[in-house]
């Protein structure tokens, strides 16, 4: 069977799938899927290849949707996706991340759930909610949301999560206990710019080598860590702005990541000078390279949200992102040149790239 690419796109009007060929030039659109539910994130379950969609309906509540036939048919469940009858009501699911044996879901208000039966039932990871700092968590502009879920590649007991306006946490005991992982990350909007928690992580990813190397795009800069988030080093220098949302890591090279700076939290949150560009580092953040070839050079008042950038695992790696104004762009040469993949979609909330062999 020849290799194909499917771009999984989450929007407020449902999921869409862009089916592409191996050359990553020709694309066809399917959707809206998931009955038009707002979909914040779509990911692929390792092994089974099932699609998982993190969603929340304004009428029918939160659920994780599942498709085992590449989006032709779907089931959904929120059984157990609750803080209990006395707890806060869950608005939506922001992120779904699967490992070989566990699916994690990050929800609003911020909390982590997991499923060990392929999404049929869910269990609250209460250890995070019971963290001593919980009563002081405050929502960010997008709400009190748990959006980044980063499982360790080999150690099943270790998971990192990112919560907007709260920061990063790590568990090393399968979710029973959690520690903050924000040392060295600025909170430029706070009286103490380096608090234990309260940093506004926007997206956290693991480097290709797995294990201890992490990167994050924050409200206040871009950071790397070489020790599993115990210490962070700012690598914003060379970028046009410290503010942005998405980040993607190269699947083989641990020193290559991509980010899309926006002009600032209080300046409209579009690309600097309204000129679209993706920025790449090949040296772990020591230097940055701007790439705008093929993207709108002017009057591009577009933003890109935290889940709306993805990479595939082909050689050279494909990079994709979706905009707040409904375009999807793709690069088949690791982000050096770009072409439009789709236009006139609803605002794009998430993009994931699935390689179908």
Partner 1 sequence: MIDAARPADVHLPRSLIALFPGAPRRIAARGATVAELIEDLDSLIPGLRNRLLDAGPSIRAHINVFVGGERAALETPVPPGAVVHVIPAVSGGSVVRRG
Which chain residues interact with partner 1 by CB under 8 A? Answer: 12, 35, 38, 58-61, 63, 73, 76-79, 81-90, 141-142, 245, 269, 303, 305-306, 347, 349
The residue (of 107 and 332) whose beta carbon lies closer to partner 1 is 107
The residue (of 76 and 224) whose beta carbon lies closer to partner 1 is 76
The residue (of 60 and 194) whose beta carbon lies closer to partner 1 is 60
Closest distance to partner 1 from the beta carbon of 87 (Å): 6
Query: What are 263's two structure tokens?
Result: 């002009």
The Cβ of residue 60 has, within 10 Å, a number of other Cβ atoms equal to 12
Nearest to 8 by CA among 58, 77, 74, 61: 74
Q: How far is CA 77 from CA 39, 266, 312, 318, 352, in A?
A: 14, 38, 28, 32, 21
Q: What is d(CA 5, CA 48) in angstroms, rounded to the nearest whole number? A: 16
Determine contact, residues 217/203, Cβ cutoff 8 Å: yes
The residue (of 81 and 187) whose beta carbon lies closer to partner 1 is 81
Closest distance to partner 1 from the beta carbon of 290 (Å): 23
Closest distance to partner 1 from the beta carbon of 89 (Å): 5
Nearest to 112 by CA among 139, 83, 146, 136: 146
Closest distance to partner 1 from the beta carbon of 297 (Å): 25
Closest distance to partner 1 from the beta carbon of 36 (Å): 8
The residue (of 178 and 321) whose beta carbon lies closer to partner 1 is 321
Q: How far is CA 131 from CA 89, 159, 170, 340, 343, in A?
A: 19, 15, 11, 44, 43
Closest distance to partner 1 from the beta carbon of 69 (Å): 13
Determine contact, residues 81/93, Cβ cutoff 8 Å: yes
What is the bridge-based pairing of β-strands 14-20 and 4-11?
A: antiparallel
The residue (of 61 and 127) whose beta carbon lies closer to partner 1 is 61
Q: What is d(CA 279, CA 265) in angstroms, rounded to the nearest whole number? A: 18
The residue (of 281 and 350) whose beta carbon lies closer to partner 1 is 350
Closest distance to partner 1 from the beta carbon of 223 (Å): 19
């Amino acid at each position: 069977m020849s290799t194909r690419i499917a771009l999984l796109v989450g929007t407020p009007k449902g999921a869409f799938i862009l089916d592409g060929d191996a050359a990553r030039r020709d694309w066809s659109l399917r959707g809206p899927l998931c009955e038009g539910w707002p979909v914040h994130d779509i990911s692929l379950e390792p092994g089974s290849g099932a699609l998982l969609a993190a969603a929340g309906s304004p009428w029918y509540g939160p659920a994780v949707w599942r498709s085992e036939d590449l989006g032709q048919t779907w089931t959904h469940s929120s059984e157990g996706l609750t803080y209990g009858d006395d707890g806060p009501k869950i608005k939506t699911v922001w992120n779904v991340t699967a490992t070989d044996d566990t699916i994690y879901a990050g929800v609003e208000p911020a909390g982590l759930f997991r499923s060990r039966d392929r999404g049929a039932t869910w269990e609250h990871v209460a250890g995070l909610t019971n963290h001593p700092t919980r009563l002081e968590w405050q929502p960010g502009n997008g709400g009190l949301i748990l959006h980044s879920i980063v499982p360790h590649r080999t150690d099943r007991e270790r998971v990192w999560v990112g919560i907007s306006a709260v920061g990063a946490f790590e568990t090393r005991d399968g979710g029973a206990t959690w520690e903050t992982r924000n040392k060295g990350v600025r909170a430029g909007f706070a009286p103490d710019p380096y608090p234990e928690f309260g940093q506004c992580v926007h997206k956290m990813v693991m480097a290709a080598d797995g294990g201890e190397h992490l990167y994050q795009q924050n409200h206040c800069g871009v950071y790397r860590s070489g020790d599993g988030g115990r210490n962070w080093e700012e690598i914003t220098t060379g970028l046009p702005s410290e503010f942005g949302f998405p980040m993607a890591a190269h699947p083989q090279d641990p020193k290559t990541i991509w980010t899309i700076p926006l002009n600032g939290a209080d300046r409209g949150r579009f690309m600097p000078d309204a000129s679209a560009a993706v920025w790449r580092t090949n040296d772990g953040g020591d230097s940055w390279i701007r790439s705008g070839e093929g993207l709108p050079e002017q009057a591009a008042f577009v933003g890109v949200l935290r889940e709306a950038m993805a990479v595939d695992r082909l050689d050279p790696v494909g990079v994709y992102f979706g905009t707040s104004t409904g375009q999807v762009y793709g690069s088949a040469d690791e982000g050096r040149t770009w072409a439009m993949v789709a236009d006139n979609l609803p605002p794009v909330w998430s993009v994931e790239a699935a390689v179908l062999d």
